[in-house]
Amino acid sequence: MGKISSLSKILFVFNILLVSNQVYGFRVVLDPGHGGRYLEPNSIYGDKYDHDSVSFMEGYRPGASVSGLNENEDVYEISLLAKEILDLTLTPMGRHEFFQILKKYGTAALPPAEPPVEPIETLISRQDGYRARYWEIDYDINRDYRLYDHQDLLSGETIEGVISRINAMKPDLVVSLHLTGGNPGKYGGMAAVITPSYKTFMHAVDYVRAGDGERKKIQKSFTDGPYGKWFIGNHGRSAFEWFLCDSWIYFTGYWSTVDGLNPDIDKFRGYRQNMITWNYRETSLEDSPGLHNPYVSKSAHLRYFRPEGRFWLREESQAESWRRDGGPQGYGGDNLYASEELLRFIRKGLLVNHVYSAWNLPKIEPPYISTWSVPTYINAVSAFLELAYLNNSRDFNRISKYKKEHAEAIAVGIYSLVHGIKAPPSAQKSLMPWGKPIDFQKYRTYQNQNYFEMARD
């Protein structure tokens, strides 16, 4: 890891210099997940720092680790490789090389040029993980890897978390790379991670305020809809009960009781929109989420919720609906399309690079749906990918041996999301890349502003 560690320091400093002067027409941030380590006590090493109670709300999540393969290290290595390939688009000679890579996947959907390749500026959200940087990190091993802002243990200054840093980079697209445990089946698999928009979470508010008969209709409508396969956090709640619980967290900061009708006052998890440095942070009771003095009473109830304040104006906006609902796949918005299109490109990459045959490619599993932080709180189209299940031997082998092939497919997929690729016909069309670009321009001209810059203007 020594060579990668040295390269990572150079790239991270280069990222910071680039952020102050956007040169190219499109910016993507590669976000390798995690990076730190779970340590106790949570009061020192945790995450989700609540500035009102001056404490961490949760322990740090270090990512999956199986038989010497560590999520935070391997996705970082894939990110570096993908950046190296995308950086080819920045020079005339590199564009010729990138064009040869593109031809393996399809034809660039651009007017004739020589070669038909446009530049993409690529940044990385963090430096190498704690193992490579252990002696630099000193007293707080998770300092540079937390998702949310926190106060420095010694100086008390605010240290921006990954979410704040990404928003400050003002990207058009974020690609967050992860691995996970578990075992989806014989051939392994991949999955998108998404969160729906405000209007979907409002079903929980309607449920709490409704009578018994109406609640049954709301539950059936939700269960039969595209978000019915909600992420089950652990045993003891159904998918719908977890949707209700996650909705309470989203709106009030509290878990709910199992029936979803009341807050669990012993499980307050803070207001995540206030754990971030951005323009939607609520700074006073007058700007609060519209609850009954939530910073004081901790008696917030969905019956009293009112969407007041800057954050809720953002959540109700058309731009957030574009990102998180509807879209090319009928639900999940541009976030889901970007995520699953990149997964389809990975399948294509494993095929054209002769890693697998068409019949045994890893399956694209249904998306994980919950109140995930990255797709919710970043003002960019956000592709969140679980690249493999490390407890599956085929997936373990795939990530161990074929990082470069994954990185190449991700780089080509990112290019296609911006400019489109005319892919050749395939018998597995639904599981191969669609080649359709995302309309990023609608965000750039949103209400006569660039939505991607509004979080940190």
Which residue's structure tokens are 């995308």?
86
Measuring CA to CA, which residue among 366, 335, 344, 337 is closest to residue 412?
344
Angle (CA) 378-379-380 rounded to 5° is 95
Span 163-197, pLDDT tens digits: 999 999 999 999 999 999 887 878 889 999 999 99
Measuring CA to CA, which residue among 370, 126, 394 is closest to residue 248?
370
Q: How far apart are CA 150 and CA 60, in angstroms?
A: 12
Q: How far apart are CA 175 and CA 214, in angstroms?
A: 40
Query: Which helix (DSSP H) or strand (DSSP E) does residue 441 occupy?
Result: helix 441-444
Stretches in the chain below the pLDDT threshold 70: 1-24, 108-116, 283-299, 424-430
Cis, bond preceding 119 (omega within 30 deg of 0): no
Q: How is residue 295 written in tokens? A: 């910073």
Query: Could you tell me the sign of the dihedral formed by the alpha carbons of 448, 451, 454, 457, in that order?
Result: negative
CB atoms within 10 A of CB 185: 12
Q: Collapse the DSSP code of 291 into the 3-class scheme (helix H, G, I; strand E, B; otherwise coil) and give the result.
A: coil
Contact predicate 346/399, CB 8 Å: no
- DSSP class of residue 277? -
Query: Which helix (DSSP H) or strand (DSSP E) does residue 341 occupy?
Result: helix 333-352
Amino acid at 173: L
Q: How far apart are CA 158 and CA 249, in angstroms?
A: 24
Task: Produce one character per residue of 332-363: b if its CB has 16 or more CB atoms within 10 Å, e if not.
Answer: bbbbbbbbbbbbbbbbbbbbbeebbeeeebbb
Span 296-322, pLDDT tens digits: 343 478 998 888 889 999 999 999 999
Question: For the chain, how big is the Rg over CA atoms in Å?
Answer: 22
Phi, psi of 435 (to 5 degrees): 75, 10
Is pTM, for the whole model, over 0.85? yes
Q: How is residue 259 written in tokens? A: 């029936």
Measuring CA to CA, which residue among 61, 343, 346 is closest to residue 193?
343
The residues with which 158 forms a beta bridge, in sequence order, are: 151
Q: Which long-range contacts (CB under 8 A, 24 or more apart) does 392-396 make?
A: 392/182, 392/183, 392/184, 392/185, 392/188, 392/189, 394/186, 394/187, 394/188, 394/362, 395/188, 395/189, 395/362, 396/66, 396/67, 396/69
If phi > 0 it is left, if psi is from -120 to 50 it is alpha, else beta; for residue 68 that is left
Contact predicate 258/236, CB 8 Å: yes
pLDDT (0 to 100) of residue 136: 81
For strands 47-50 and 173-180, give the pairing.
unpaired
In sequence order, which ranges of 24-161 are alpha helices (DSSP H)?
A: 42-45, 71-86, 92-105, 134-137
Q: Collapse the DSSP code of 449 into the 3-class scheme (helix H, G, I; strand E, B; otherwise coil) and give the result.
A: strand
Q: Which CATH superfamily is domain 2-194+325-456 in?
A: Zn-dependent exopeptidases (3.40.630.40)
**In the chain, where the domains are located:** 2-194+325-456, 198-320
In sequence order, which ranges of 138-238 are alpha helices (DSSP H)?
A: 162-169, 198-209, 212-224
Q: How far apart are CA 361 and CA 347, in angstroms?
A: 6
